[in-house]
Structure 1
Amino acid sequence: MTTLTVFHEDDLSKAQMEVTEPQQIERVLKEKGVHFARWPTRDLPTAASSDAILSAYAGEVERLKQQWGFQTADVVSLSADHPDKAAFRQKFLDEHVHSEDEVRFFVRGQGLFYLHLGEQVYALLCEKNDLISVPEGIRHWFDMGPEPEFTCIRLFTNPEGWVASFTGDDIAAKVPRYEALAGATT
């Protein structure tokens, strides 16, 4: 279940708020400048190719490109049997920022976005049907869990794709990880 859990920097072990109603999640995040929406998904095979996925969502991808100026779209997919899953997980676990919006639409599975906004951390467990756009410059990180299972469409204004600037802040290590938050909601 899509879940937004909010923590305060003063006590990152205890949630201040937990929200599971999509419209309320959308409102809370909108107040912070983060776009969240629920979109319908298509029935595609688990092993659908990137081209098949992009073709199935061509209308939505084109609309986002026109609306927000994205130049490219691709598909990222990871499963629990991937031999490099631990290295991929580690790559995204440290707080970082981007010089463009980070947009993900979950076609399959789930993952956990953490947004460090002021003195709070917003942990958004995204799942199939969820679209999130993290504005450029917002400190965040992503946890796919130890046994990742997800497929996402990613959109970029930079044709080079995902480029991060790490902040050096160790806050990501202090907030409950995927195992604690995703496990509590399923």
Structure 2
Amino acid sequence: MAEIRIRKTNEIISGEENVRNFLNQFEVIYEHWDVNKLPAHLQENFSLTDDQKAEVLATFDTEIKDLVARRGYRTWDVITLSEATPNIEELLAKFEQIHTHTEDEIRAIVGGAGTFVIKGSDEIGYFDVNLLPGDLISVPENTVHFFTLTDDRKVVAIRLFVEENGWIAHPFEDPSFQKA
């Protein structure tokens, strides 16, 4: 289940409803999927083949189609990141720059863990949304954020896009931002 840490105060927000209510104030969508339906050979597998990625998508076809109907996404894929990923350090360096997009950035974590760092109001500041298998988050367009891996450095996530070429990051300069 997702957990939020407010960076200014180190306050922790946990529990599905508390997390959802906190994120709602920033128009961030939070949902929870049942990852237990994922076949055993795909659980904790962080080096998926293209066929296995297709199987992950097929497993969550109903949930994906529901999001497509509600939010207008046109394409989706599965991303796997781990120590086995070529150029993992370069990818993480790219991901870990605060930025915005002109469309929602959505991830459904189906294996491993990841963290979205999101800029809230001036009062709240930046907060970390730590995501575990089953957590889905959609960060609204033009919201300052970035995504990174947890210390375990492995994740399998479903991503959905409006633009068929995926998200385009627009760097955001914020002198108040400090990496954790």
> Common fold, TM-score beyond 0.5?
yes
| Alignment coverage as a number of residue pairs | 169
Matches within 5 A, 1:51-130: 51-119=54-122, 120-130=125-135
The aligned residue for residue 34 of structure 2 is 40
Q: Provide structure 2 residue ranges, at least 5 long, that are not aligned to the other structure.
A: none
- Contact 1:105–1:131 (8 Å) recurs in 2: yes
* Cα deviation 1:68-93 (Å, max 9, x = unaligned): 00010111111223231111111111
Partner Cα distance (1:170, 1:96) in 2: 13
1:135 pairs with 134, 140, 143, which one?
140
Match of 1:28 in 2: 22
Query: Over aligned residue pairs, what C-alpha RMSD do you find?
Result: 1.6
Cα 1:170–1:93 change in 2 (3 A) is farther
1:56-111 CA-to-partner distances (Å, cap 9, x unmatched) read 11111111111100010111111223231111111111110000011100010101
Q: Could you list the per-position Cα deviations for residues 110-162 of structure 1 after superposition, in whole angstroms to 9, with x for gaps in the alignment?
A: 01101102221121001100000000010001121465211000000111112
| 8 Å Cα contact 1:26-1:35 kept in structure 2 | yes
2:168 maps to 163
The separation in 1 between residues aligned to 2:93 and 2:158, in whole angstroms, is 20
User: Aligned letter for 2:101?
Assistant: H
Matched, 1:151 2:145: no
Q: Which stretches in structure 1 are left out of the alignment for 5+ residues?
A: 9-13, 177-186
- The worse-fitting range, judged by mean Cα deviation, of 39-48 and 72-81 is 39-48
What's the CA shift for 1:170?
Answer: 4.8
| Alpha-carbon distance, 1:43 to partner | 2.5
**Percent identity (aligned):** 25
